Structure 1
Amino acid sequence: MAERSLVNENLVTVGRITAVYGVRGWVKVHSYTEPMENILDFSGWWLQAPGAGGQESWQPLEIDAGKRHGKGLVVHIKGVDDRDIAATFCQRDIAVAGSEMPQLEDGEYYWHQLQGLQVISQFEGREYRFGEVVRLMETGANDVMVVRGGEDGRERLIPYLPGEFITKVDLETGVIFVDWDPEF
């Protein structure tokens, strides 16, 4: 498998190979897509290179079969029919080219587009800088942004509810405007 550095490519992490499954080269995949089977629709998988160090390095990865199994997914890596070889692919992220991601409707965003954006609250006529979105979480009821830094250095959990707490997302300026009490 040829290794290739994709520093300038727009890769989006869509899952992770977690463990081997069986003895014939199958591996378990934890998918970040919704529904989880959508990860199988992407044609060009990239696997995080082992020991990539500080610089992200990725390898092309070919899958020749994949299916739902129990509460998760299993895939077969093309040309790998041995459990020990399959184990070398485990605990590594899976990415796809951003250009493969389906187009969204206006006002909809992928999580990777929101991560790293600055969050500013315009609460009761005053502006508060809360820091940046470090990650998002699913809670069941709604998604939640984890925001760190800002004027007071606190971590905040802000529900991602457009029209209620999220007043505007501006990808060009890198800012999410929220209506959120700075005391929370």
Structure 2
Amino acid sequence: MSGLFGVKGWIKVYSYTRPAANLIEYEDWLIGRQDAWRPFRVIDAREQGKTLIAQIAPGDESPLADRDAAAALIDFEIAVERDQLPEPEPGEYYWFDLVGLDVVNRDGTELGRVKAMMETGANDVLVLQGDRERLVPFVVGEIIDEVDLKAGRIVADWDPEF
């Protein structure tokens, strides 16, 4: 959550979904940090200028009643259960499925493990942690030869010296 909206418990939300408004299509959110998540129900949500705003309720309780209740959630993250997401099209991947995968080049040289993903505008980029940090463009068919989620591995046409 990125801020407050009004005095009746509404929150401002930064969405990582593309397009951003897709987040408000989900009726149930998980809100929390790391391993501590609580279920929330979306009562009402909409786009407001360049941001999203939402009225939410914890579990089966009443909606957040005021600004103070909403303020307690600022800087928490929003997630949804995996089974709420549509299956990606062939050749498309959710970023969270790529994080943690090992990346090797065509010769089998280890390049590192995906620590994060980065959006650059031109294409997404794998942020690899290994003997050093590497940034590898995630361009399937040009740089990325194979993504094997079951094996936990990505094969890339990438020079290990770069």
8 A Cα contact 2:31 2:79, kept in partner: yes
Q: Deviations over 1:95-128 (max 9, x none)?
A: 1110000111222110011000000011xxx331
Partner of 2:135: 157
Partner of 1:91: 75
Match of 1:68 among 41, 47, 57: 47
- Cα separation, 2, equivalents of 1:104 and 1:62: 25
After the TM superposition, which residues 167-182 of structure 1 pair with which residues of structure 2 at under 5 Å, given as runs? 167-182=145-160
- Cα separation, 2, equivalents of 1:20 and 1:115: 31
Partner of 1:108: 92
Aligned residues: 157
Deviation at 1:148, TM superposition (A): 0.8
Does residue 58 of structure 1 match 2:67?
no
- Cα separation, 2, equivalents of 1:58 and 1:136: 22
8 A Cα contact 2:143 2:156, kept in partner: yes
TM-score (ref. length: structure 2): 0.92
SS of equivalent residue, structure 1 residue 183: coil
Can you give the 5+ residue segments of structure 2 that lack an aligned partner in the other structure?
58-62
Q: Deviations over 1:13-47 (max 9, x none)?
A: xxxx1211121111110111111111111122111
Q: Which amino acid aligns with 1:62?
A: R
- Cα separation, 2, equivalents of 1:98 and 1:33: 14
Q: Which amino acid aligns with 1:174?
A: G
Q: Which amino acid aligns with 2:40?
A: L
Q: Structure 1 residue runs of 4+, over 6 Å off?
A: none
Q: Which amino acid aligns with 2:161?
A: E
- Cα separation, 1, equivalents of 2:64 and 2:95: 32
Deviation at 1:81, TM superposition (A): 2.8
Q: Which amino acid aligns with 1:128?
A: T
TM-score (ref. length: structure 1): 0.81
Deviation at 1:72, TM superposition (A): 1.2
Can you give the 5+ residue segments of structure 1 that lack an aligned partner in the other structure?
1-16, 50-54
- Cα separation, 2, equivalents of 1:86 and 1:176: 41
- Cα separation, 2, equivalents of 1:129 and 1:119: 6
